[in-house]
Amino acid sequence: MKNNSRKAALRRAEELKKTILNYEQALPDIPTGFGQWRRILENQERIKSLLGATDEDWQDWRWHLEKRVTTAAELKKYLTLSPQQLEEIEQTGSIYRWAVSPYYLSLMDPQNKADPIRRQAIPSLPECADHIGTSDPMDEEHTSPAPAVTRRYPDRLIINVTNQCAMYCRHCQRRRNIGEKDLATPRRDLMAALDYVSSNKEIRDVLLTGGDAFMLDNSSIAWLLEQLDQIPHVEIKRFGTRTPVTLPFRIDDELCEILSRHLPLYVNTQFNHPLEVTPAAQEACFKLARAGVSLGNQAVLLKGVNNDPFVMRKLNQELLKIMVRPYYIFHPKRVKGTAHFWVKIEEGLKVMEHLRGYTTGMAIPTYILNAPKGYGKVPLLPQYLLWIGDDTAVIRTWENRIIKYNNREAGD
């Protein structure tokens, strides 16, 4: 009997191994930040040479902000661009602001126009051709009961603390707020937002975002956390930041020490492609984890970047290796200027089908569609519950096995 059980287990193991063969065959064509690190380091040396930078400069996040590339003429020094591409960048940049940090620039393949990092950072003409999207699809203007506050849920809210980012993503949901200057939210508006939180005792969770909340200086971050800790009903603080992806040197020792004094604290970031998960990003995330900060990832499903089940699976597996838990996959919002990134819901569901059962549960985020007009997040799932009656349910497994399940209570 024991021998028969072992044979059955071995047969099942062989079945399971076959389900992953197509993924393993696809992996050589999915570049990762760790796999491409030698090329990235070569890019960094070339960029440092062109900018006359030292190794110390490269580790200074303020230097990266100061040296952000913001014109097509500058960009031509680092990427191979045709005259038509240069013209498109200039034309689009005259409508939508853009900027990219030297670090994030170093992740790009200088020769590949379709590079997933370039697509997220470099302006393209389709941005100007989008006449379908709206500037504020989440209707944040009408869900702001106090300065700098966005509130969509009963027990939590957002405080927008700056409009600045290290790199302005081409798919940004708040591109209407970028403006021509990087501006921190005025202290009087932050005080008004904090007063609102203090006056509404049901608020237990406050998210600091922007822009990118880690673009504030350390003293401002410390002040905000101190103020929130003085409000008894605020149980947790969260930060929205893409700096571990676009400017990992921002995660310095002083910032981590400040964060460690204000636990429980959560940081959600946005890795969208395995190429973004680099040794530098790992160092930043490990620093945050050692400080006691819980890390989550909120990817955005983007055409030409990650709308591929195997790319998303690899991304989530790479994230777990650097202490970042995949949290959400956001369906792209219908923001004006971003239509070339949009995908259909079916593509997101296909991605989810290739995660559940095929990889560890911690690598499976929730697929989220934001309801228009600020009505909140709607989770979307493939259909696993096919039918349910008084005593029986019919379910579908990740392998598409249809199984009847006894749904009776004990004693029925």
Of the candidates 262, 148, 156, the residue with the CA atom closest to the CA atom of residue 201: 156
User: 139: which 2 tokens?
Assistant: 């209707």
**Rounded-to-integer distance, Cα 265 and Cα 242, Å:** 16
> Nearest 5°: phi and psi at 148?
70, 5
CB atoms within 10 A of CB 317: 17
> Nearest 5°: phi and psi at 335?
-85, 135
CB atoms within 10 A of CB 22: 11
Cα dihedral 356, 361, 363, 365 sign? positive
Least confident of 130-134, 237-241, 385-389: 130-134
Strands 377-380, 385-388: pairing kind: unpaired
Q: Using an 8 Å Cβ cutoff, are 171 and 338 in contact?
A: yes
Could you tell me the domains of the chain? 33-129 (no CATH), 140-380 (3.20.20.70), 382-412 (no CATH)
Residue with tokens 């900027």: 99
| Mean pLDDT, rounded, of the chain | 95
What mean pLDDT is predicted for residues 21-36?
97
CB atoms within 10 A of CB 288: 24
pLDDT bracket for residue 401 (50, 70, 90): very high
pTM of the complete model: 0.95
What mean pLDDT is predicted for residues 219-246?
98
**pLDDT tens, position by position, 273-283:** 999 999 999 99
Looking at residue 141, its pLDDT comes to 79
Q: Using an 8 Å Cβ cutoff, are 109 and 311 in contact?
A: no
What mean pLDDT is predicted for residues 51-60?
97
What mean pLDDT is predicted for residues 39-58?
98
What mean pLDDT is predicted for residues 242-255?
98
What mean pLDDT is predicted for residues 17-32?
96
**pLDDT tens, position by position, 138-191:** 777 788 999 999 999 999 999 999 999 999 999 998 887 776 688 899 999 999
pLDDT bracket for residue 134 (50, 70, 90): confident
Looking at residue 197, its pLDDT comes to 98
* Rounded percentage of the chain residues whose pLDDT exceeds 70: 99
**Rounded-to-integer distance, Cα 81 and Cα 261, Å:** 47
What mean pLDDT is predicted for residues 403-412?
84
Looking at residue 378, its pLDDT comes to 94
Angle (nearest 5°) at CA 323 between 243 and 252 = 40
Residue 2 has pLDDT above 80, yes or no: no
Looking at residue 178, its pLDDT comes to 78
Looking at residue 410, its pLDDT comes to 73
**pLDDT tens, position by position, 316-373:** 999 999 999 999 999 999 999 999 999 999 999 999 999 999 999 999 999 999 988 8
What mean pLDDT is predicted for residues 130-137?
83
Length of the chain, in residues: 412
Contacts of 394 (CB under 8 A, 6+ apart): 385, 386, 387, 388, 402, 403, 404, 405
pLDDT bracket for residue 409 (50, 70, 90): confident
H or E element in which residue 269 lies: strand 265-269
Residue with tokens 């409000």: 231
